[in-house]
Structure 1
Amino acid sequence: MDRIEPELVLKTTPPRSPKTAQVRERLSIGGPELSDKVAIAVHAPAGFGKTFLLTQWRREFLSRGAVVAWLTLDSHDDGPRFVQGLMAAMAIGSGRQSFAGSFERMPGRDELEGLTGWLAEVADLGSETILMLDEADALPEVTVRQSLAYLLHNAPANLRIIMASRSRLSLQVADLLARGLYVAIAADLLRFRTEETVTILSNRFGARIDPDLCVRLQEITEGWPLGLQLAIAAIEKSPNLGAAVEQLSACSGDIQRYFVDSLVVRLPVEQVDFLTCIALLEMVNPSLCIALTHNERAGETLLELCGSTPIFVESVNSEWVRIHPLAREFLLGRFSDLSLMQRQTFHERAAIWLEEHALFEEAARQYLLAGHTTQTYEMVEQCLYEIMLRGQFSRVLEWVEKLPAQEVESRPRMCLAAAWSLAMSDRHVEAAKLIAHLQQDPTADAETHCEAAAIAGAAAYFADRPDEILAIIGPWVEAPRSVSIKLQAIIANQIARLMLFQGHPEKARRIVQRAPHYDWTPGLDAIRGFGEWVVGMSYLSEGRILRAISALRNSLLCAEQDIGRRSPVAVALATSLATALLEHDEIQEAATVLANRLDIVERLASPDAIEMGFLTAARLAVLQSQPHRGEDLLDALFALGEDRGIVRFCLVALGEQIRMHALQGRVDTCQALWRRLDESVPDVAREQRGLLGPELGLVVGLAGAYVALVQRDWQTLLDALSNVNKTAESLRRGREIVQIKLLKALALRESGGDGLSCLLEAISLAEEYGLQRIVQDTHPELVKWSKMVTSETTRPAMQASLHAGPVVRPEPPPSSVSPSRLLTPKEREVLQLLARNLSNKQIAQALHVGEETVKWHLKNLFGKFQAGTRKHVVDRAYMLGILESAG
């Protein structure tokens, strides 16, 4: 093979893939979206892992025997030089002499002729061939439009071309798109998803980091791979990861150095000043940038920076882009160095443009920062009610804190928004004053009175007083449909939730499904979100876990996209979904769904969501070998119940502690907890009165059953189960019904009766419902018993396997060779033995061939790997991914 010049050797050598890097299973080349594409373009700014993704795909292709050629491009790759690079890449990737051709530049030679010859050689290979072009944006424009386009449109059937670039390439690929042969992968797909970030951080830090911190880092970095890498570098040496994450700042350490090096030092001064100026806003577009800077070229500058820097998140089908939070924090530090007059001028310019374009909330923020309070109040009045309807109650409460009380009360729509947000939070008592103000307003119409009643009903629900709800909204349920569709939908949601208290989940679903659809926004809002949560809760109450997961997962995805991950709507859906996932034994996903949300659950969630959130978090902590954290969470739930006067929280916390200690056989502890619980039981629970009485009675009854269980008082246990089963059936609680059957089966067996039929029925129901954890969560003895019952049918096969001889597992070789077509099968065997540092004689003996044959194969290996020594062959093979460590 002709000697390849050193520069081309470097350009055709793929970069080393870090051993600790996380393989992107979601972006596997074998996935349905990519498997049949002839051309794949990956374009994203720096720091999004484009090159790593290409190296991952390269390994995948090599593992299935494809020929893979790599070429890193630069600005010197004009037409002829580009052809030379392709020849060198294929010569190294395939090992074929014919690709070597001539590596000298031939003046006057037509590069298209060279490309045609190269394509013909690729076609002649007849095997799957992959060309990977990294940093394709560095190519001269003429090379992209002519040579690269020619390559794409004339690729033979066995060739696939994969390109990585920092910006979109100006390629005419409409025909390839129409035929389904071309796909582009942008930054949004390259961002780490929450579960990927959790996996990466868990692998890196192990037990030192919990899901809450993992998700917090995901939110800080927004899935930007380089941002996560910088954050890891900033916190990894800290003894307290939690404190390190909270103190993580873009204005210190490695993160600051990155932004200084990539922005301040590398960019022209005018572009740095532009970024500093626009940092006062989270989102910008070209027109807004022109208004801010009074520079007609500001829009062009924004577009240039979007392509050259990783700090912007582009919107789909929109001119709007968002500045990454880490970059914005860094730039705001520079913005704060401007004089007060300069800063207020920029805020005022932004506010005027935003008001003109009806972006009232952001305009209000800018007016406030500019010191214009009157305009601030006017803007807030324009948008606060819509913010509430969208389900962003925490944002409403933030504005309420900033505004004078008289301003809120004097503006009706602002007053309604504030009342709703207070009612649906831990501050529901404060809503009463605003509700009274609305009801006493002499100018209020029937619509306002109806909405005030609905707010009062919501406040009663958040106070866990469901019996008051019907009395409050009852007159409006029976009244003619003279109120708006919006209020009809709200009242339907409240009635549907009351149906669950009454044990009618199917009626709850029907009410939500038949309720008028208040269609004021294309995305999910608070009204529809709450309705979808009720539907998910109806399946969950029935114990139909698979249906609950399906419904809640889809709704949560919409809520996170449309409202926000930590919005009250998303948090309510997340607590229910995490509960269902835990019941289905999907522990990791349940922990990820619930992570970094419990603080919002405590402040802005309903009693049902709070109960599920704390209970599920406590159970997850125990399963993750953190029993003390589980106890702390249950104690916190009990304290929350005492603080707010919500007895349900106290009973649930004590009942769960009794169950946990009963499974460990702690009799005295269970009795002590039972005495505390018994003292807290209200009359409505003892007498099963009202809507909440049966709910509380179920909690108390199951806790009493576990006390009898740990005391091994089987008759008392059977009596307790008989009573509590009536309540569970009246409420249609599927999980509790199965749990009661399991406990009954155990009590019958231990008391000398026949509990087998009861056990089998419970297991059958659990399988049908998707209650994967119910047996082990009910009692460990049931796990052993159910396994023994199940093994009866498989015992003959097990006995046969016991008589079989021991399975001899050969020790894995120290290295493995990918089935790359660069090497023949015999050359792969020689390379594997060479990696074990065997001599020619030892290799010949192992392969049962002569030493001359081994020398001949080694000569071929030296040529194909461009190596001069045996060790050099092995090193090159490892570097190219042909040879891999077996471990």
Structure 2
Amino acid sequence: MSTEPGLVLKATPPRLQKSATARPRLSLDSAELADKAVIALQAPAGFGKTQLLAQWRRDWLAQGGVVIWLALDEHDDPLRLAHGLAVAKAVGSGRRVMPQSSTSLFGKGADDLDELTSWLAEIADLGAETLLILDDAHSLPEATARHSLTYLLRNTPANLRVAMASRGRMALPMAELLAQGYFGVVGVEDLRFTLDETLALLATRFGQRLELDDCAHLHEITEGWPLGLQLTISAIERSSDLHSAIRDLAVSNGNRQNFFIDSLLSRLSQRQTDFLTRISLFEMVHPQLCIVLLADERAAAWLQELLSSTPILIEGVDSDWLRIHPLAQELLRSRFAALPEAERQLLHQRAAEWLAGHGLPEAAARQALLAGQTRQAYALAESCLYELMLRGHFSRTLDWIEQLPSHEVERRPRLRLVVAWSLALSGHRTQAVQMIEQVGSDPNASAEEQCEAAAILSTAAFSADHPDSSQQIIEPWLDKAPAFSIKLQAILANHKIRLALAAGHTERARHYCQHAPRFEWTSGMDAVRGHRDWQFGLSYFWEGQMLSAERALRASLSQADQDIGRRSGIALLMATTLANVLLERDAQTEASTVLANRLDLLARLAAPEAIVQGYVSAARLATLQGQTHRAHDLLDELFTIGETRQMPRLCISALAEQLRQHALRGHSETCQALWQRLDQLLPDFVREPRGLLGPELALYAQLGHVYACVSSHDWSGVLALLEQAAPLAERLRRGRESVQILLLQALARQRLGEDGVPALREAVSLAEEYGLLRILADTHPDLPTWAAQLQGYAPAAAVQPPAAAPGPPRKHSTVSVSPSRMLTPKEREVLQLLARNMSNKQIALALEVGEETVKWHMKNLFGKFQAGNRKHVLDRAYLLGILQP
């Protein structure tokens, strides 16, 4: 009897998609997986599990190992699993699948453990590094999983690794392997595309047609969901306006979103679709919530059924909560809005009661508000919004503020605090003062309440870029900090750090950071810790110590993105400074990625320093990419924001950067006009530097004036201005500006016929020490060439024109053969020549062997690939990944 055809198909691996994106961070050789004997991929459908398994298979074959592939299903009882493994081993190792007697294999008295033991012994006897891939492991019958699969995993020989994919957590007793560190799990969060992976995939599909901001936006609305990305690409790729097409995806009634969701819902029954519509009120759903919502005990089972049949629902980690993908939620909510009003009201009321009773006041408040229960909604909001604000969710609190009537805010003290903090942090100083003045002037207010009111007013002054007012407000309270709660002590410490930075005391600021009280609402990032971490990194950045700044900011930004959100106020602060650091380190691509799809929120959520850093770094990146028109637009926008909000810092920074860019391109007349414009708007506290802000802005203005002189080749004027700027830079501990001043002094002296080499050597040495890789090219285009003549110095790359858009992929006429143990070296050579459509005689001539020898190798290839003709050999070789273009 022949082998069951179904088993041969189950042992045949799927074709790896040509458009599949390689994911090196998830490779079997990665640090997290390299020492794992058993690896479980656990995620719903649509997260790319099978494609990742296919990638592992290809990589394993390329290293000369043996790969055994077996797709599992609900019919795999213990004996059928053993038979399937035997067939898969024969297919994967290139040996002929021997006919099996169903009586001998499945007959009375057959023992599946004996079969598995024999199979494991054969694997050990192979002597080759072997990878066993088990796809769809969730479909195994429970008895087979607990009995046979567990036995298999516990007894793997040293040369066998097992990778298995399932749609959920498998109930396997793997405590022993876990304890030994041999069992690894790759879950939903691991399988999501990172921003870099999304950018790589979109670049492959769209080339230069998509702007970086649009790519980042697409990543955010799909949340790195592999299937979601593929569906959205299909929805927008034929559009002539990709920017509008991506924005359309975020609209609940958008045609492209309809395509997206219809692709997912088309196979669901009407009952399942109705059920999804009614639970779409929430981002997260719980089985018990569904039961209460629909007043039906079957709801929990329906939820589990949907989890296994659609990727719209995502299982939580060690939790019964499930998440509804936001893209699906938008369209489902539009369907929810079409339900009868009475039914919607009832669902909202039931949801509000259950959520409030289970410690979820914000979600309960939203449902109560939708149900028309305003008093209950405002009370719930008052109980939770303060903590939400402290955790750094400023956008959510600002959204709530827009929904709260002013009379409700005024009569609820805790809501008043939330509104005041939110207005202060977003730069609305006047409104914040109006909101909080009642607390500060109340004679019955406690010292703690008065101190917090002062902290809010001080924050509002800082956000409006009035550091002297901020210092005057908060300074009387700083010495009283130990008498207050840990929360208030931590807030006051952040003010102390900010004042130290403004005065140029960077080391003192870091000391305050390291000894600040640790107030944390959660184990992750919050607003208080986030501001402290940002200021810690900012202190290094201002000193010019880019390596230390990068190390301090990178981990904090990653945690802020994860815990609070990529477009949160805390993440914005860190991202703008880190982008500047990366730009100084000449990591232009990463700097662009860090800033992508954040710039539009800066003016609303970020501090003045961050607004300047964000716009100036974006303008510099645009210039380096050859988009000078975009650079001008960004700097004009920065100037306009400063003019509208009466912030001289923003206006001076915008004009100073325009002066630098035009001077480096030799635009003398433009530079003189820009300098006249800058000089006219300088306030008195900048012309005669005083206070906390005056010296900093004076330094920016003087450097702008320097470049106006550079553009007109007034090198004596350059030296005179630099003599004034150098002490300011030193006083403020601005390391980058100090190096820039040294470089310009060296250049000016050289142009005047003096000796500029000592200053240049010192500047180059400091630049290398600080990690300022771009500073020579950014200071003046002649400096890299001059510095290159100094012994032992390799200049940073000068400003380069934008790279040409990638053309269509080149077609290769050759193929490669992976060094699989399935074939001998000579058989691989024959297979490669066969793929070039060469006859046996031509192959013999090419290899300098006899034609009979070639025929003998061809016979072996037919047997190993179970092929009937030459084309079939090639088809099987491509299918197995041994032959590759």
Q: TM-score, normalised by structure 1?
A: 0.94
**How do residues 790-801 of structure 1 correspond to structure 2 at under 5 angstroms?**
790=791
Partner of 2:383: 382
Distance 1:603 1:417, change over 3 A: same
Q: 1:254 to 1:643 in 2, by over 3 A?
A: closer
> Take 1:633 and 1:96, find their aligned partners in 2: how far apart are those partners?
65
Structure 2 residue aligned with 1:864: 864
User: Could you say which residue in structure 1 is the equivalent of 2:79?
Assistant: 80
Cα distance in 2, alignment partners of residues 276 and 447 from structure 1: 47
Moved more, 24-33 or 428-437: 428-437
Contact 2:481 2:488 in 1 (8 A): no
Q: Residues of 2 paired with 1:196 and 1:230: CA distance?
A: 16
Letter in 2 for 1:12: A
Whole-angstrom CA distance in 1 between matches of 2:145 and 2:121: 20
Cα deviation code 1:353-372 (max 9, x no counterpart): 12222322111111110011
Match of 1:855 in 2: 855
Counterpart AA for 1:456: L
The reply to whether residue 590 of structure 1 matches residue 588 of structure 2 is no
Q: Note the 1:703-714 alignment, pairs <5 A.
A: 703-714=704-715
Amino acid at match of 1:396: T
* Aligned AA (1:169): M
Per-residue deviation, residues 23-53 of structure 1 (Å, max 9, x unmatched)? 0111011112212222211121111001100
Q: Contact 1:81–1:105 (CA<8 Å) still a contact in 2? A: no
Partner of 2:100: 102
Tell me the amino acid that sits aligned with residue 291 of structure 1.
V
TM superposition shift of 1:521: 3.5
Deviation at 1:77, TM superposition (A): 2.8
Q: Please give the alpha-carbon distance, in whole angstroms, between the structure 1 residues aligned to 2:347 and 2:27.
A: 46
Of residues 48-57 and 79-88 in structure 1, the stretch that sits farther from structure 2 once superposed is 79-88
Which residue number corresponds to residue 59 of structure 1? 58
Q: Work out whether residues 844 and 851 of structure 1, in 8 Å CA contact, stay in contact via their aligned partners in 2.
A: yes
Aligned to 1:843: 843
How many angstroms does 1:262 deviate by?
A: 4.4
Query: Which piece of structure 1 moves more, 666-675 or 173-182?
Result: 173-182
Structure 1 residues 412 and 170 mapped into 2: Cα distance closer, same or farther (>3 Å)?
closer
What is the distance in 1 between the residues matched to 2:862 and 2:282? Answer: 59
Which residue number corresponds to residue 138 of structure 2?
A: 137
Residues 103/839 of structure 1: CA separation in 2 closer, same or farther (3 Å cut)? farther
Pair 1:265–1:861, CA change in 2 (3 A):
closer
Q: Give the Cα separation in 2 of the matches to 1:391 and 1:302.
A: 32
Once the two structures are superposed, residues 527-578 of structure 1 have per-residue CA deviations (whole angstroms, 9 ceiling, x without a partner) of 2211111111111110111111111122222222332222211111111111
Q: Contact 1:213 / 1:596 at 8 angstroms: preserved in 2?
A: yes
Given residue 814 of structure 1, which amino acid in structure 2 is its aligned partner?
T
Summarize the alignment of residues 647-726 of structure 1 with structure 2, pairs less than 5 Å apart.
647-726=648-727
Amino acid at match of 2:70: L
Shift, 1:793, TM fit: 10
Is 1:881 aligned to 2:877, yes or no? Answer: no
Corresponding residue SS for 1:127: coil
Contact 1:271/1:301 (<8 A) preserved: yes
After the TM superposition, which residues 747-766 of structure 1 pair with which residues of structure 2 at under 5 Å, given as runs? 747-766=748-767
Alpha-carbon distance change, 240 to 455 in structure 1, aligned in 2, over 3 angstroms: same
> Is 728-737 or 125-134 further displaced after alignment?
125-134
Q: Aligned partners of 1:522 and 1:676: how far apart in 2?
A: 49
1:40 aligns with 2:42: no
- Paired AA for residue 268 in structure 2: R
CA distance in 1, matches of 2:81, 2:315: 32
> In the alignment, what sits opposite 2:804?
none
Alignment partner, residue 268 of structure 2: 266
Secondary structure of 2:296's counterpart equals coil
What are the equivalent positions in structure 2 for 1:154-553 lying under 5 Å apart?
Answer: 154-248=155-249, 249=251, 256=258, 259-260=261-262, 262-263=264-265, 265-267=267-269, 269-479=270-480, 481-553=482-554
Name the counterpart of 2:801.
none
Gaps of 5+ in 1: 795-810
**1:629 corresponds to which letter in structure 2?**
R
Report the residue type matching 2:516 in the other structure. Answer: A
Query: What is the rounded CA distance, in whole Å, between the counterparts of 1:775 and 1:395 in structure 2?
Result: 43
1:171 and 1:516 map into 2 onto residues whose CA distance is 44
Equivalences for 1:18-37 in 2 at 5 Å? 18-37=17-36
CA contact (8 A) 2:131 2:163 kept: yes
Q: Secondary structure at the match of 1:247?
A: helix
- 1:260 deviates by 4.3
**AA at the equivalent of 1:244:** A
SS class of match (2:483): coil
Q: Which moved more, 1:819-828 or 1:15-24?
A: 15-24
CA contact (8 A) 1:166 1:308 kept: no
State how far apart, in whole Å, the 2-side matches of 1:749 and 1:250 are: 64
Contact 1:84 1:103 in 2 (8 A): no
Q: CA offset at residue 615 of structure 1? A: 0.8
Q: 3-state DSSP class of the match of 2:790?
A: helix
Q: Offset of 1:848 from its aligned partner? A: 1.7
- Give the equivalent residue in structure 1 for 2:11: 12
Distance of aligned partners of 1:447 and 1:791 in 2 relative to their CA distance in 1, 3 Å threshold: closer
Q: Which amino acid aligns with 1:535?
A: F
Structure 1 CA distance, aligned partners of 2:256 and 2:855?
A: 51
1:756, distance to aligned residue in structure 2 (A): 2.3
Query: Is the contact between residue 581 and residue 590 of structure 1 (CA under 8 Å) also seen in structure 2?
Result: yes
Letter in 2 for 1:102: Q
SS for the counterpart of 2:429 is: coil
Whether the 8 Å contact between 2:235 and 2:259 is mirrored in structure 1 is no
Q: Distance in 1 between matches of 2:736 and 2:601?
A: 27
SS in 2 for 1:780: coil
Q: Secondary structure at the match of 1:789?
A: coil
Distance apart, 1:695 and its partner CA: 0.5
Q: In the alignment, is residue 632 of structure 1 matched against residue 633 of structure 2? A: yes
Offset from partner CA, 1:625-661 (integer Å, 9 cap, x none): 3221111110000011110111111111111111111
Measure, in 1, the Cα distance between the counterparts of 2:875 and 2:744.
Answer: 63
Instruction: Describe the SS at the equivalent of 1:622.
Output: helix
Name stretches of at least 5 consecutive residues in structure 2 with no aligned partner: 796-810
- For the residue of structure 2 that corresponds to 1:40, the secondary structure is strand
Superposition map of 1:561-572 within 5 A: 561-572=562-573
**Distance in 1 separating the partners of 2:397 and 2:264:** 37
C-alpha separation in 2, matches of 1:253 and 1:93: 45
Once the two structures are superposed, residues 196-240 of structure 1 have per-residue CA deviations (whole angstroms, 9 ceiling, x without a partner) of 112211232222212211121111111110011111111111122
Q: AA paired with 1:817?
A: V
Deviations 1:44-74 (A, max 9, x none): 1111001100110011101110011222222
Give, in angstroms, the shift of residue 302 of structure 1: 2.9
SS in structure 2 opposite 1:102?
Answer: coil
Provide, for residues 278-319 of structure 1, a one-character-per-residue CA deviation record: whole Å limited to 9, x for no partner: 111111222322221222343343344334432233333333
| Cα separation, partners in 2 of 1:337 and 1:279, compared to 1, 3 Å | same
- Cα distance in structure 1, aligned partners of 2:164 and 2:253: 35
Per the TM alignment, residue 497 of structure 1 is displaced from its structure 2 partner at its CA by: 1.0
Distance 1:470 1:273, change over 3 A: same
Deviation for aligned residue 1:676: 1.0
What's the Cα RMSD here? Answer: 2.2
Q: Tell whether the 8 Å contact from 1:360 to 1:379 is kept in structure 2 after alignment.
A: yes
Seen in structure 2, the aligned counterparts of structure 1 residues 521 and 849 have a Cα distance that, compared at 3 Å, is closer
Give 1:857 shift.
0.3
**What's the counterpart of residue 153 of structure 1?**
154
Identity %: 55
**What is the match of residue 732 of structure 1?**
733
- CA gap 1:449/1:255 in 2 versus in 1, 3 angstroms: closer
Match of 1:621 in 2: 622
**Structure 2 contact 39–183 (Cα < 8 Å) conserved:** yes
Number of residue pairs matched by the alignment: 866
Provide the rounded CA distance (Å) in 2 between the counterparts of 1:482 and 1:137: 58
Amino acid at match of 1:91: A
For 1:842, give the aligned amino acid. Answer: Q
Per-residue CA deviations over 1:124-182 (Å, capped at 9, x if unaligned) read: 21111122122222233333233322322222222222211222333222222222222
- Give, in whole Å, the separation in 2 of the partners of 1:371 and 1:412: 23
Output the amino acid matched with 1:100. Answer: M
Q: Larger deviation: 521-530 or 231-240?
A: 521-530
